[in-house]
Amino acid sequence: MNHDFIYEALPTRVIFGQGKLQSLPHEVERLGARRVLVLSTPQQEPWAQNVSELLGSVSAGIYSNATMHTPVEISEQAVAQVQRLEADCVVALGGGSTTGLGKAIALRTGLPQIAVPTTYAGSEMTPILGETENGVKTTKRLPVILPKTVIYDVDLSLTLPAALSATSGLNAMAHAVEALYAQDRNPVTSIMAEEGLAAFARALPTITQSPKDLEARSDALYGAWLCGICLASAGMALHHKLCHVLGGAFDLPHAQTHAVMLPHTAAYNSKAAADAMQRIARALNAPDAAQGLWDLAGKLGAPRSLKELGMPETGIELATELALKNPYWNPRPLEADGIRKLLARAWAGEAPSL
């Protein structure tokens, strides 16, 4: 087999297991930080208060206004808070919204960040930030954006509702699916991608039935970590582009949009990425990758149409236009007609076209 690739390991320290939140004060100390600002969404403010108490005298306070799609105005408010409190480090507690805010602060201030994920988003493992301004989401990739330390505490995922666990897990799986057919894929991320997909395929149906199942929760968080590395290490293609377009233009919920789109984007690329599809099908223990992803979403009770997420049917044309606007690599060439049909099926909640 011809191996021709570049692999770059990103310098993040990962602490994984049960009860690992208790190691946060030690990790703050390792970074030499003295005044830590804890970040969360409004819903997770009580948790942020607990984390602030755990940090004791090194906590500078909390900022609990993290918002989906990382709006620039929220990031600027948070930076003002950082400066007011003279914080020298941020701790992002939560899912992609809070992690995104931590990254946006790091980008503007250069401060180190510790991520404590409570969902399966995976963005905590990447040097990538997607920010929204005037309905447009733009992406930056810089070393300063990467969290210094990530604490994966399995206990923190036990309260993630089953429905959110499903969509968050499918969102994470999308990182692995695209890493398997990425232009810059490599053997290491391909092994991680297949392992991450298999971990989720095992864990998510159990979590849907028994949300407090510790082994399944541990498996899912392990999958999230692996899929997060895939997102950081390999370029993403049509799937992530479409989800960015749909999220930015119609303010659709991030994880749910990924859950709806994944079977359709896999189907679009299936003939052009046969080897990747074989590995995905193997990880899912299914005869076909796109059908396997569609069936898994159904089994988990995840949304399977853009219509139910609130996207108007008239948006299909705009989304097709935006998806073709800035050229990017994809295993199958981007064709307006193919993308329009894919979006129409996803909007209506029809099975992927195989």
Q: Which fold has domain 162-348?
A: Dehydroquinate synthase-like, alpha domain (1.20.1090)
pLDDT at residue 3 greater than cutoff 90: no
Same fold across 13-157 and 162-348: no
Average of pLDDT values for 180-193? 96
Question: Where along the chain do its domains lie?
Answer: 13-157, 162-348
pLDDT value for 60: 98
CA distance 195 to 300: 20
Mean pLDDT of 313-322: 96
Confidence of residue 6 (pLDDT cuts 50, 70, 90): confident
Which residue pairs from 209-217 have beta carbons closer than 8 angstroms and sit at least 24 positions apart in sequence? 211/158, 211/160, 211/161, 211/162, 211/165, 212/158, 214/18, 214/154, 214/158, 217/154, 217/157, 217/158
Cα 330 from Cα 136, distance rounded (Å):
21
Instruction: Assess whether pLDDT exceeds 80 at residue 354.
Output: no
User: 71: which DSSP letter?
Assistant: B
For the domain spanning 13-157, the CATH number is 3.40.50.1970
Q: What are phi and psi of 311, to 5 degrees?
A: -80, 135
Each residue of 229-247: pLDDT tens digit? 999 999 999 999 999 899 8
Q: Is residue 114 within 8 Å of 106, Cβ to Cβ?
A: no
pLDDT single digits (tens) 200-226? 999 999 999 999 999 999 999 999 999
Residue 2: predicted pLDDT = 63
Q: Is the pLDDT of residue 250 over 80?
A: yes
The predicted-structure confidence for 273-293, as pLDDT tens digits, reads as follows 999 999 999 999 999 999 999
